[in-house]
Amino acid sequence: MQIDKIQELPIYKNKKEGEFLVKKDIVDNFPNNFGITENENDNIEYATTSGTTSNRMEIIRPKGWWQEEYKRTYKNNPLLKEYLEKKYNKAIFTTAQCSNLMCFMDKLPMEKRIINNTLYVNSTFNPWTWTVEDIEQITKELNLFKPYYLDADPVYLAVYLLLYRKYQIKEKLYIPKVITLSYEYVSKNTRKFIEECYNTTILNLYGTTEFGYIFIEDETGKMKLCPDLVNVRLEPVDDSNNIYSLIIDSYKNEYMPLVNYKVGDMVQATKEEYINFPKNKIISRMAGREKDYDKIKLPVTVIDDIFIEFDEILLYQLQYLSKDKFIIRYETKDFQCISKENEEKLLDKITKLNIGEPQIKHVQAISPERSGKFAIIKFWEE
C-alpha cells in the first residue's frame, strides 16, 4: 500500500502530525478503522494478540502471512536460513493458549499437532501441571520428530527442563541445532538455566502478533533489526538506564499498516548504540513493558541484573499488594529456599531500588497469566 493511501485510512485521518498510534486506536472501531470491506474477507484472516503488553486485541492480516514473515526473519541468521531453505522440521514449544498459527487446548495425538513440518508440542495451559507422563511424552515426541529448530517460550522450556530433571526421565534430552527464545521477556536466570541444559545455539527473538518479528540476537549477543518492510525509532524513556521506547513503521501487512506505532515495549541501548542506531540497527537487549515502568519508574533490566547474582533462583515475580508494598515471589532449581543470608542480601538490594517495601516468599510454582504468559511484575489492579 502506498504511503499516501495509508494516510487516507480512517485510523490515521484524525492523527495530528507526530502523534503516536497506540493499541487503543487499533481496538476502537476495528476493523472499519483500517478500511476493511466485506469483499476482502476471502483474502484475510483475523487473529488475537496474546495480551502481554496490554489487553488482548484483534488484528487482521493476509492469509498465510506468518509463512512470509518467517522468510523475512530467518534469513537474518545462517542456521535459521538453512532450516528454511532445506525445509527441516521445527517444533513450537509455548503456551497452548495462543501461538502464531495454531492453538491446541486438547490433548491430541502427536500426528494431529504436526502442520507444515511443524510440531506444536504443548497442549496444556499451565506447565506446572505437567505430570511425569506428560514430560515423558514431550521428550519422546521431540526425539521422534527430531526438529532441527525449536522455537520456545523461555519459561515453558525452563519448566520442562526442570521437571525433566526432577522426574529423572530416562529417555535422553533431545538437542536441536538451534533454539529461539521468544513470546515473552527472557530473564537472565531463565536464559542461563536453559543454556546449562543445552549445548547448542540459543538466540533471543523479539516480535509481536501485530507486526511480526523485528529483532533477532546476533553472534555477539546483541539484538539486531530484521529490516524488511519495517522502520524502528528509539524514543528516550530513562537516560540513566539507557532505556528507550520502541516506535515502528511496519508495511508488512497491507491490510493493517502501522505508522508511528508506539509498541509499549522498551529496549536498552548504550549511548553509542542509540546514536548509531539509524545506521547499525543494533541494541543491547529488550527491557520489558513500558506500562510497568510508568508505575515503578524502573526498567525490569535493573531488577533482572540483581536476580542473576542468585544462581539458585530460576523464576521470580514482584507481586504488588498496593502502590508501595510488594512480595518477591521466587522459585529455585532445586525447589528449596535460598539461604537466609541470600534472602537478606536479595531483600537489601531490592529495597535500595526504592520501588516499594518488599517482602520475600519462596514458592513452588509461579503460574501464568490469562494470556498464558508469565508476569515478572504484577500489579494489584491486574
User: Using a CB cutoff of 8 Å and minimum separation of 24, what contacts does 45-52 make?
Assistant: 47/209, 48/98, 48/209, 49/208, 49/209, 49/210, 50/95, 50/97, 50/98, 50/183, 50/209, 50/371, 50/372, 50/373, 51/369, 51/370, 51/371, 51/373, 52/184, 52/289, 52/371, 52/373
Q: What is the pLDDT at residue 100?
A: 46
pLDDT tens by residue, 106-117: 678 999 999 989
pLDDT tens by residue, 320-334: 999 999 999 999 999
pTM: 0.94
C-alpha cell recorded at residue 251: 508495511
| Euclidean distance between CA atoms 280 and 277, whole angstroms | 5
Q: What is the pLDDT at residue 58?
A: 87
pLDDT tens by residue, 210-230: 999 999 999 999 999 999 999
pLDDT tens by residue, 145-154: 999 999 999 9
| Euclidean distance between CA atoms 73 and 284, whole angstroms | 19
Q: How confident is the model at residue 338 (pLDDT cuts 50, 70, 90)?
A: very high
Q: Determine the length of the chain.
A: 382
Closest CA to 253 of 227, 225, 229: 229
Q: Is the peptide bond before 257 cis (omega within 30 degrees of 0)?
A: no
Q: Residues 306-313: what's their mean pLDDT?
A: 98
Pairing of β 357-362 and β 325-332: parallel
